[in-house]
Structure 1
Amino acid sequence: MIDAHALARFRAAFLLDFGVPLEDGCEVFWTTYFQNALIDGRYWAVLAEQQSQTHEAQAVACAGLMFFPVVPVPSDPSGLRAHVQGVYTLPEHRGRGLGERLTREVLREAQARGLKSANLNASVMGRGVYERLGFTEANAPEMRLDLAGAAL
């Protein structure tokens, strides 16, 4: 079973690398989320591990896959979209291809499930990897609204 706490730690590290402040309790909250999402199938993840000096396996990189419902079409009847999420490598392990290898692994999982497309939100650091894998800019006119502050 994938270590949900490791996924939560990687998520926190990823956001902190980009200067995003975290709410108190995020890691505990995310650990619970990942535990449940891994069990019910909303999330699928892989970890790269390395032996530590104490000969224990230590997670050094991860990649995840979320499954979002979409309206099916004849060319893609699955009704699901794969969203690559949570690709992160600890700084001291970067430059070894771990992120790309793990991203390929989650994309192969999406293919094995019969999904026809995948998307992601690329960081500047990861953009080259994703372009090598065949990702292209999407023409999605996405807009967002903060519902908590919206006067509707």
Structure 2
Amino acid sequence: MRYRKATINDVAQMMELRKRQLIDEGIEPSVNMDVELQAFFERKLSDRTLIQWLVEDQDEVVACGAVLFYEFPPSYTNKTGKKAYIANMFTDGNYRGRGIAKELLAKLVEEVRAAGISRIWLGASEMGRPIYRKFGFMESDEYMELDLAREAMK
């Protein structure tokens, strides 16, 4: 297995992995989001607010994980205001159970440390929760969400 950071040349693969991840999580592919995905990955890689790691077996990418960097207003519990969000964690079904996600997560956490950021958050699928818990992530009631698209349909 070869672990490496994604580059702008990997955007097409990153798009496909993201779509596979969403389908794997049970989300139906109801819209074509290729234009938006491409723009997102190109922009975030270019401005360095996203670091994505890829795992290759021979020439096939079999897993990935990313960290996005965000800046919030400073607070008493986070005086820099900087936070990191783990996203795009995906391992092909044929490669699960080999410690790949754990190794990816370790690399992402190290990226966050190297950036001098002390807060990491994520949204975990049911499949991912045990890995994150073992790594030390705690579940929190800190965030609430309003889905404006759903509100508009009422």
Distance 1:90 1:126 in 2: 13
- Cα distance in 2, alignment partners of residues 148 and 38 from structure 1: 30
Look up the match of 2:18: 11
1:22 alignment partner AA? P
Residues 56-111 of structure 1: CA deviation (Å, up to 9, x unaligned): x2211000011122121355332221000000011111111111111110111001
| 8 Å contact kept, 1:63–1:106 | yes
**Paired letter, 2:51:** W
Query: Could you tell me which of 32, 45, 49 is aligned with 1:38?
Result: 45
For residues 23-46 of structure 1, the C-alpha deviation after alignment (integer angstroms, 9 at most, x for no partner) is: 443234312310221111121110
Paired with 1:148 and 1:7, the residues of 2 have a C-alpha distance of: 28
The ranges of structure 1 where at least 4 consecutive aligned residues each deviate by more than 6 angstroms after the TM superposition are: none
Q: Which moved more, 1:25-34 or 1:103-112?
A: 25-34
Q: Could you tell me the percent identity over the aligned residues?
A: 27
Contact 1:12 1:27 in 2 (8 A): no
Query: For 2:76 and 2:150, how far apart are their aligned partners in 1?
Result: 37
Structure 1 residues 147 and 23 mapped into 2: Cα distance closer, same or farther (>3 Å)? closer
Give the match for residue 101 of structure 2: 99
1:141, 1:92 → 2: CA distance?
34
Structure-1 residue corresponding to 2:88: 86
Q: Counterpart in 2 of 1:54?
A: none
Structure 2 residues not aligned, in runs of 5+: 1-5
Shift of 1:6: 1.6
Kept in 1, the 8 Å contact 2:25–2:125? The answer is no
Q: Which residue of 1 aligns with 2:75?
A: 73
